[in-house]
Every structure is written in structure tokens, then in C-alpha cells.
Chains A and B, each alone.
Chain A
């Protein structure tokens, strides 16, 4: 579980990575810092240490400068932070709806040969492409 200070710092950084723009909510508006980061960390405990190490970089600096510093000098920590931030954002079902991604849901396969048979006839007409040995 993140401390209050870690959560506050994370919210600051996460909103630089994922701001409110293009009609989409920011990370904090999508509850990334309060809800979904905890879910993400549950699934990726291997990133916990690197993630927390990112939260102590650049104490006192504005969020944008912390992000630049992480990207320049703390790449593994920044990659862990980025994976978890984006992963947490996309865990929010409302975000999935807004980007038009239904997730991986069961779909019955339907034979669609009729939709491409016209193109395939041309392949057949061109004849074999293997080497006769």
C-alpha cells in the first residue's frame, strides 16, 4: 500500500504523463492514483520497488521536471512507472469504453470466406508459388 506522501507524489507525476486532453480525463481524474494503481501493483509486484524508487526522485521539483529527470537518468524506474501508470489507466472500465476497446471478450468465430473469396480467386488464377523439386 502506498503512503499518503507516495500517493500524492504519484498523482503529481501521473498527471504529467496522462493529462486531461483530447477529450480524455487525466490520470487522477480517472482515479489512477487512488484506485487503479493499487490494482496494477497487485498484478505486477515485481515493479513495486522500482516504482517507489521513482517517487523519491526530484523532491520539490515540478512534476514535468521530475518526469524529464526520470527519463534521462532513471530509465528502469521510469519504465516501471510508465508501465504501471498506463496499465492502471486502462484498467479503469470507463477509460476502456471511451477509447472504444471492449477488452478481450468471447466472440464466436464466424466463417468469413465469402468476404474474401473474390480476392482469393485471383491467387488461384496466378498458380503455384512453390518450387517443384
Chain B
């Protein structure tokens, strides 16, 4: 059930947060615990762990529909449609309390120092307005808040990274992959995951379901509905679920004055606020800013640069699957990455492209998950006697080296409002215009070739590869980028709009570059840094005179 609109909502909230996902949860908790009145509007609902199918026999059937990460496939009432007809990659996300952390793989990775200085070290894109050292303390705090399991001393990081919990088991797939990397002399390290390897802060230990991407039935994985929202609500935060925001409103001076939203009965409401924070992900945030037009902001809110929606980055993903003689129990979780490699992460000009990618080893699921795309191929390739042979050859015996390709900013890759498509409330849906670049193609080609060598060194008897997975757009970044120059960025280094000083963006939209690692740790660390600055600088905060 959606939360009934509370009678005790403040007439004017100190802060209104749009979105209860990774970044919004951080902001709401911090603000509420510091005594601010906070209202959060979330279009989705709560998802209790008992609803997840990972511990049920039908898991692999329902993961292809009800728990699919692509909202266009899932088509849940809380989802909004997205036009992807001009995109090489489908965006993946979840609408609900906890946002996409409900369905993420919980790979908990920091950026590397060079990720903040791409312009300086590689002469492309832009540097961030702060560096690794500036963000490192926030990473550490988030590690403790969410309960990261990992092994310290990773030679891919300057400070070695220490974690509050010991690493999760790498299992037989991790060991097998590590043997190959060892033969080649390549970097690998046990993966750090935001999944507790033992009970942590009232959360149970991981139970090794290999179903993290469809929700954790154990309630162990760090989704922010369980890591942040209980404390936020205890501190007095107000959460309205089933609230689809159609517009951020402004006053006569052009300052943000609140938001208009539609509840699940179709009734429109307005919540007034002194400060508005948008935390709706790299697609939802630019959509909402573009929807929020007015005479003072005719091109959308905070969009004097024209960059709202532009520079969309989605981390094109390649993969090489290897099949082995031994039963590696590769259905066993978590998923989660067993091990990672940063061997080819940094730029090497001799390769013919810039930047690089993180690799990760993940489980391969059960017997049904190995099978997809039946139609059009010869029948006897997948069916008949080969149905049984394929199961015997692959089940438990295959795993994947996944490749997260750094995606460079390109203004042509963008989120716009679709001229015809609308959501269930009649609000214009987003459309993605996104093409993978030549640099990315070269990058993935190189990495796929190396990953195949890694499997072969580990003893794989066969390999298969995917050079660009269409359903891979987990990481939605860059569409309201931060920077010091209002002409070339949407928000400043604290997430504050250059145009509207009481409007903040704190999700992955603010990324200047994408890195080549999973971004949730960075999204949450940046959100924490931004909201702490908002609190610390409150005496200088301009607000709307909406009351």
C-alpha cells in the first residue's frame, strides 16, 4: 500500500527531496537527524524482502518480467516509460523506496584518483571540481553506513581501502578466475560489496543467494530502504510514496518554491519548501528539470547552460563467458562480484583508445538464466537433445568476466522529453538519444580480447562474448553535470544549481565523467558531501518566500 498522505506534513518543509533512492536517502537521513523538517516524494513504494523471488523456485521465470531491471519490460505501475528507439543501450532502474539499490549488484567501488582528473591526465573531457583525497573521507563514512565487505590493501588504490567487514567468499569461480590472472601476472582482488559478510547494524548476514540483481530475499544487501530509511523516519522525516512529481515550482524571483505531484488516486498536490533537492537519477532528474518550465526558466529549471539532459553516460558493458570442466557451483551468490581486476583501467596510449574498464567476475545463475533469445537460431542448437547437453555443459560450470567501459561525456548523448509518449499520469516521458562512441568500441574490443585470454589462462574449454549488451544501462550519469563555470555546467561542486540557488541535484546526474567502475559508492559519497555543505552553509542559503 502506498503511504496515505500524512496530515502532519509541514506546510513549508525546510527541504523537499524528490526521490528516495541512493542519493535522496542519504540527504533525507542527514537532514532529519540534524533537525530539519524534510519531506521526500517517491513515486514508487516499499518493497519488503519477502516480496523478492530469489528464494523461490520461480525466480528465474519472474526475473525476466516482474523483476526485470528495464522499466519498459517490467512495466510496474510505479515505472514510467522511456523511449529508447534512438539509444544503443537500455536504461535500467527501479522506482521505489531505496530506488535502484533494490536491484543493484552491490559492487562497492571507489573511483580511482585519475578519474577526477581526466582532462589533466588524458587531455579529454573535464576534470572534476574536487579530487579523490577530498572525497575519500566520505567514501569511508559511507562504507561504515552501508556495511561494506572487502579485503584491505587493494593495489589498485592509493590508500589501500579498509573495510568494516571481512570479504565475502570468492568461491570456486573467483578462485578459478584468479588462477588465470595469476598465470598472466595481471591484477585481481577480492571484490568489495555492500553486502554484509556477517550481521551488521541489525542487518542479517548475506546468505549467498545469487539473486542480488532481483532483490535480496535475506534482507542483507545494502539497499537504502533498510540502511537509511529506518533512521530517517525515526528522526522525523516525512516520506510520501506513490507521489509522482510533475513539476518543481518557482516563485516570482525564480527560486524553487516546492513541487507539484500526483498521488496514485490521480489527485494533484503541492508541497512547499525552502530548499528543493532533486535525486531522481540521471534520467528522472533531467526529465523533471525539463518539465519545470516557467517564464523565468523557459528552457527548464537550472538550464541556462543548455546542458540539462546532455552528456548522458551509461557505461557500455561487454562480457566474456567461459565454460570449464569443473563444477564451479556458479549459481552461488552473492552477485556481487567475486573478484575484480583493474589491470587495464588506466589509459595506455599504445592501445589506440583512452581510459579503461573495471572487470568483475559474477555468478551465472541457474539453468533457465543461461537460456535466452531462442527464436531465429537453428532449433537444434538450443532444443532437442542439445537442450540436455547444454545444461550439463554449462550449469555451474560457467562464469562471466564483465567489463564496465568508461563512457566519456558527449553532448549529443542526451535525455529529452518525448513529444508523444507519456506516463500513466499524462506526464511527458523521457527519450534517450545515445550512441556508443568509437573510443568505446575500441576499448571494449581490446578488453574483450584480454578477458578471453584470462579465461583461456584459467583453463576454460570454451568462451563466448558480448561486445555491447543492450540491457546494461544501470549507471545513469552526467545529465546535470557539476563544475565551476555556469556556462559549461548545471550545478556547482556542492550540487547547487548555478541558476537557482535553492535548488540542488545530488544524484549521478552531477558526474563530470563516468569512471569505469560501478558508481553507487561515489553517488552516495557525493550526496553526503553535498548535503553536509548545505547544512553547514545554511546561514547563507537563499530561500523562496513561499510561506
A contacts, CB < 8 Å to B: 16-19, 21-24, 39-40, 43-44, 46, 67-68, 71, 75-76, 78-79, 82-83, 86-87, 90-91, 93, 99-101, 103-113, 115-116, 119-120, 122-124, 126-133
In the bound complex, residues from chain B placing their C-beta under 8 Å from that of A113 are: 151, 166-167, 190
Instruction: Please report the C-alpha to C-alpha distance between residue A107 and residue B174 in the assembled complex, in whole angstroms.
Output: 17
Q: A21-B385, A107-B332, A129-B187 are in contact. Are A87 and B396 (CB under 8 A)?
A: no
Determine whether the beta carbon of A18 is less than 8 Å from that of B346: no
From B55, B181, B375, B384, contact of A78 by CB (8 A):
B375
- The 28 sampled A-B contact pairs (Cβ below 8 Å) are A17-B384, A17-B387, A39-B58, A43-B62, A79-B373, A79-B375, A82-B375, A91-B57, A91-B58, A100-B396, A103-B57, A104-B54, A104-B55, A106-B208, A107-B207, A109-B197, A109-B207, A110-B169, A111-B166, A115-B175, A123-B182, A124-B155, A126-B155, A126-B185, A126-B187, A128-B155, A128-B158, A129-B343
Instruction: Please report the C-alpha to C-alpha distance between residue A25 and residue B185 in the assembled complex, in whole angstroms.
Output: 46
Residue of A nearest to B378 (CB): A71
Determine whether the beta carbon of A101 is less than 8 Å from that of B331: yes
> Counting CB contacts under 8 A, is B35 at the interface?
no
Q: Which of B60, B331, B374 has the most CB of A within 10 A?
A: B374
In the bound complex, residues from chain B placing their C-beta under 8 Å from that of A39 are: 58
Instruction: Please report the C-alpha to C-alpha distance between residue A122 and residue B347 in the assembled complex, in whole angstroms.
Output: 23
Determine whether the beta carbon of B210 is less than 8 Å from that of A129: no
Instruction: Please report the C-alpha to C-alpha distance between residue A21 and residue B150 in the assembled complex, in whole angstroms.
Output: 45
Q: A22-B385, A78-B375 are in contact. Are A116 and B168 (CB under 8 A)?
A: no
Q: Which of A24, A106, A119, A130 has the most CB of B within 10 A?
A: A130
> Counting CB contacts under 8 A, is B189 at the interface?
yes
Determine whether the beta carbon of A111 is less than 8 Å from that of B121: no
Name the distance in Å between B221's Cβ and chain A's nearest Cβ. 13
Beyond known contacts A16-B383, A100-B395: 19 more, CB 8 A cutoff = A18-B383, A18-B387, A43-B61, A71-B379, A83-B374, A91-B57, A93-B57, A99-B367, A104-B333, A109-B197, A120-B178, A120-B190, A129-B155, A129-B187, A129-B342, A130-B112, A130-B155, A132-B158, A133-B114
Name the distance in Å between B374's Cβ and chain A's nearest Cβ. 4
Q: Which of A86, A101, A123, A132 has the most CB of B within 10 A?
A: A123
Q: What are the 9 tightest A-B residue pairs by CB atom distance, in nearest-first order?
A: A75-B375, A22-B388, A106-B207, A107-B208, A82-B374, A21-B385, A112-B169, A43-B58, A87-B61
Determine whether the beta carbon of B375 is less than 8 Å from that of A133: no
Q: A86-B368, A120-B189, A128-B158 are in contact. Are A104 and B210 (CB under 8 A)?
A: yes
Determine whether the beta carbon of A79 is less than 8 Å from that of B374: yes
Determine whether the beta carbon of A21 is less than 8 Å from that of B388: yes
Instruction: Please report the C-alpha to C-alpha distance between residue A104 and residue B57 in the assembled complex, in whole angstroms.
Output: 8
Determine whether the beta carbon of A112 is less than 8 Å from that of B171: yes
Instruction: Please report the C-alpha to C-alpha distance between residue A93 and residue B332 in the assembled complex, in whole angstroms.
Output: 18
Determine whether the beta carbon of A130 is less than 8 Å from that of B383: no
In the bound complex, residues from chain A placing their C-beta under 8 Å from that of B54 are: 104
Instruction: Please report the C-alpha to C-alpha distance between residue A83 and residue B218 in the assembled complex, in whole angstroms.
Output: 27
In the bound complex, residues from chain A placing their C-beta under 8 Å from that of B376 are: 71, 75
Instruction: Please report the C-alpha to C-alpha distance between residue A48 and residue B444 in the assembled complex, in whole angstroms.
Output: 39
From A16, A71, A101, contact of B366 by CB (8 A):
A101
Interface residues on B, range: 35 or more
Q: Which of B393-415 contact A (CB under 8 A)?
A: 395-396
> Counting CB contacts under 8 A, is B206 at the interface?
yes
In the bound complex, residues from chain B placing their C-beta under 8 Å from that of A67 are: 379, 383
State the total of A-B contacts with C-beta under 8 angstroms. Answer: 189
Residue of B nearest to A17 (CB): B383
Instruction: Please report the C-alpha to C-alpha distance between residue A58 and residue B244 in the assembled complex, in whole angstroms.
Output: 47
In the bound complex, residues from chain B placing their C-beta under 8 Å from that of A126 are: 155, 185, 187
Name the distance in Å between A131's Cβ and chain B's nearest Cβ. 5
Interface string of B89-124 (1 = CB under 8 A from A): 000000000000000000000001110110011000
Determine whether the beta carbon of A104 is less than 8 Å from that of B151: no
In the bound complex, residues from chain A placing their C-beta under 8 Å from that of B379 are: 67-68, 71
Determine whether the beta carbon of A104 is less than 8 Å from that of B384: no
Determine whether the beta carbon of A106 is less than 8 Å from that of B209: yes
Q: Which of B339-397 contact A (CB under 8 A)?
A: 342-343, 345-347, 366-368, 371, 373-377, 379, 382-385, 387-389, 391-392, 395-396
> Counting CB contacts under 8 A, is B10 at the interface?
no
Determine whether the beta carbon of B168 is less than 8 Å from that of A109: yes
Determine whether the beta carbon of A46 is less than 8 Å from that of B65: yes
Instruction: Please report the C-alpha to C-alpha distance between residue A78 and residue B383 in the assembled complex, in whole angstroms.
Output: 12
Instruction: Please report the C-alpha to C-alpha distance between residue A127 and residue B155 in the assembled complex, in whole angstroms.
Output: 6
In the bound complex, residues from chain A placing their C-beta under 8 Å from that of B207 are: 106-109
Q: Which of B175, B179, B367 has the most CB of A within 10 A?
A: B367
Instruction: Please report the C-alpha to C-alpha distance between residue A124 and residue B152 in the assembled complex, in whole angstroms.
Output: 11
> Counting CB contacts under 8 A, is B130 at the interface?
no
Determine whether the beta carbon of B367 is less than 8 Å from that of A90: yes
Residue of B nearest to A18 (CB): B387
In the bound complex, residues from chain A placing their C-beta under 8 Å from that of B385 are: 19, 21-22
In the bound complex, residues from chain A placing their C-beta under 8 Å from that of B58 are: 39-40, 43, 87, 91
Name the distance in Å between B127's Cβ and chain A's nearest Cβ. 10
Determine whether the beta carbon of A99 is less than 8 Å from that of B384: no
Q: A99-B391, A106-B209, A109-B208 are in contact. Are A86 and B151 (CB under 8 A)?
A: no
Q: A43-B58, A46-B65, A119-B179 are in contact. Are A103 and B366 (CB under 8 A)?
A: yes
Q: Which of A116, A127, A128 has the most CB of B within 10 A?
A: A116
Instruction: Please report the C-alpha to C-alpha distance between residue A112 and residue B391 in the assembled complex, in whole angstroms.
Output: 28
Determine whether the beta carbon of B366 is less than 8 Å from that of A90: yes
Instruction: Please report the C-alpha to C-alpha distance between residue A101 and residue B332 in the assembled complex, in whole angstroms.
Output: 10
In the bound complex, residues from chain A placing their C-beta under 8 Å from that of B368 are: 83, 86-87, 90
Determine whether the beta carbon of B384 is less than 8 Å from that of A21: yes
Name the distance in Å between B26's Cβ and chain A's nearest Cβ. 26
Q: A22-B385, A116-B178 are in contact. Are A133 and B113 (CB under 8 A)?
A: yes
Instruction: Please report the C-alpha to C-alpha distance between residue A5 and residue B61 in the assembled complex, in whole angstroms.
Output: 25
Determine whether the beta carbon of A104 is less than 8 Å from that of B209: yes
In the bound complex, residues from chain A placing their C-beta under 8 Å from that of B346 are: 129-131
Determine whether the beta carbon of B171 is less than 8 Å from that of A44: no
Instruction: Please report the C-alpha to C-alpha distance between residue A71 and residue B373 in the assembled complex, in whole angstroms.
Output: 11
